[in-house]
């Protein structure tokens, strides 16, 4: 048996292992159940006990030696393989430019998140709107200036680019039963001269809450909560009486910026106060137009411009830069 052992060891040592296939051939020849190593172990079983004693150790060493030859060869192949893999990884990487969120969208999302926490859902509607949803249902009189070509982009006799997202409020009230609690962010259009402070399109987030027993106090509390979360805990606000055809009573809300800096002074026209939204209790006529019983339900609505708030938040001086699509400008917001 000793001779057999050294014979097989010799054979294993001189076995050429230069490829994965040869490695596998080695395994099949020596190491599997019916391979040469196991053959010797089978023979060993039938030896007389004295011989077993003297041969056992040798046989085990023999087995380890063959196994080591295999392991070493296998290792070489593996490190070779990972070496080739590595060289692929080492190729100069191809950097793909990542897009980023538009600052106006970031502001809309931040606003929406606050209202969503207060239980408002998010709705949208078409930007080309018919007269009913944009004006008539909202109680605009026939001779209202907004119905003039000077102020509104008409598409045809009955359709215009929506001038506010209040049109979505009408759509919601027509199709849903109260309680309705939703905000409607979106783009709106007005035929205005383009300047650093106004554009012919801009963005609004409007809100609507219709239920039994909704009061002006609910409106104020909702807006206080929003302002504290969005502009900071200690932000001062004030309401001023105002007029909108679709709300009664109506108000505008200002926040106090102060008069310290040149830009505060400019934004607030020297008063320290900046108007950020219009609001009010939904007019009885509007509820009736949308088939909601004003004897059972009341509601509030509010609407704010996103673009001015974004200018304020990011210290942007010219509104137009948001829409020039100049990536040098937009990239500044990529980490938001
Ligand atoms: N729709 C008004 C605007 O565009 C804002 C507004 C919404 C006012 C809801 C009151 C209530 O200016």
- The three-class DSSP label of residue 295 is coil
How many CB atoms lie under 10 A from the CB of residue 226? 22
116-145 pLDDT per residue, tens: 999 999 999 999 999 999 999 999 988 888
The pLDDT of residue 86: 58
For 167, half-sphere exposure in the C-beta direction (CA atoms, 13 angstrom radius) is 25
For ligand 1, residues with CB inside 6 Å are: 164, 166, 206, 244, 247, 278-280, 301-303
Q: Tell which wins on pLDDT, 255 or 334.
A: 255
For residue 282, what are the contacts with CB-CB under 8 A and spacing of at least 6?
Answer: 208, 210, 246, 247, 298, 299, 300, 301
Residue 298 has pLDDT above 90, yes or no: yes
pTM of the model: 0.71
Q: What is the rounded CA–CA span in Å between residue 312 and residue 186?
A: 19
Q: What is the rounded CA–CA span in Å between residue 228 and residue 108?
A: 16
When the pLDDT of each residue in the chain is averaged and rounded to a whole number, the result is: 90
Query: Rounded to the nearest whole angstrom, what is the distance from the C-alpha of residue 315 to the centroid of ligand 1?
Result: 25
- Whether 260 and 270 have beta carbons less than 8 Å apart is answered as no
* Helix-strand-coil split of the chain, %, nearest 5: 50, 20, 30
Query: Rounded to the nearest whole angstrom, what is the distance from the C-alpha of residue 328 to the centroid of ligand 1?
Result: 34
Q: Which residue has its alpha carbon closest to ligand 1 atom 5? A: 303
The pLDDT of residue 157: 86
Q: Domains in the chain, please, with CATH?
A: 2-81 (no CATH), 103-333 (3.30.930.10)
Query: Rounded to the nearest whole angstrom, what is the distance from the C-alpha of residue 201 to the centroid of ligand 1?
Result: 15
Q: What is the rounded CA–CA span in Å between residue 182 and residue 206?
A: 8
Mean pLDDT on 202-223: 97
- Helices (H) and strands (E) counted in the chain, each on its own, are 12, 10
Burial of 150 (0-12, 13-18, 19+ CB in 10 A): exposed
45-98 pLDDT per residue, tens: 888 888 888 888 888 898 999 999 999 988 888 877 666 665 566 677 777 777
Residue 2 has pLDDT above 90, yes or no: no
216-249 pLDDT per residue, tens: 999 999 999 999 999 999 999 999 999 999 999 9
DSSP string, 198-231: --SEEEEEEEEEEETT--HHHHHHHHHHHHHHHH
């Amino acid at each position: 048996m000793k001779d057999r052992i050294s014979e097989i060891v010799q054979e294993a040592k001189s076995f050429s292992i230069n490829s994965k296939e040869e490695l596998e051939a080695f395994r099949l020849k020596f190491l599997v159940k019916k391979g040469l190593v196991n053959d010797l172990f089978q023979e060993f079983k039938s030896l007389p006990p004295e011989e077993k004693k003297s041969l056992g150790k040798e046989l085990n060493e023999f087995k380890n030696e063959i196994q080591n030859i295999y392991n070493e060869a296998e290792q070489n192949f593996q490190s070779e393989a990972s070496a080739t893999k590595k060289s692929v990884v080492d190729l100069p990487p191809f950097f793909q430019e990542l897009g980023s969120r538009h600052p106006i969208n970031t502001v809309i999302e931040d606003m929406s998140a606050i209202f969503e926490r207060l239980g408002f859902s998010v709705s949208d509607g078409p930007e080309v709107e018919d007269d009913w949803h944009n004006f008539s249902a909202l109680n605009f009189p026939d001779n209202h200036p907004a119905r003039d070509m000077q102020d509104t982009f008409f598409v045809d006799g009955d359709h215009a680019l929506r001038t506010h997202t209040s049109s979505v409020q009408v759509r919601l009230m027509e199709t849903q039963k109260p309680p309705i609690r939703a905000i409607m962010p979106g783009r709106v259009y007005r035929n205005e001269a383009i300047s650093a402070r106004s554009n012919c399109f801009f963005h609004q987030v409007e809100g609507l809450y219709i239920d039994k027993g909704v009061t002006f106090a609910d409106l104020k509390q909702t807006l206080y909560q929003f302002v504290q979360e969005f502009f900071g805990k200690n932000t001062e606000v004030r309401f001023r009486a105002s007029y909108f055809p679709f709300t009664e009573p109506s108000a505008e809300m200002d926040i106090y910026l102060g008069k310290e800096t040149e830009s505060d002074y400019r934004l607030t026209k020297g008063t320290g106060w900046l108007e950020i939204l219009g609001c009010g209790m939904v007019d009885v006529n509007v509820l009736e137009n949308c088939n909601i019983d004003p004897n059972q339900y009341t509601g509030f609505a509010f609407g704010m411009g996103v673009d001015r708030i974004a200018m304020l938040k990011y210290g942007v001086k010219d509104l137009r830069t948001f829409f020039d699509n100049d990536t040098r400008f937009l990239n500044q917001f990529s980490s938001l």
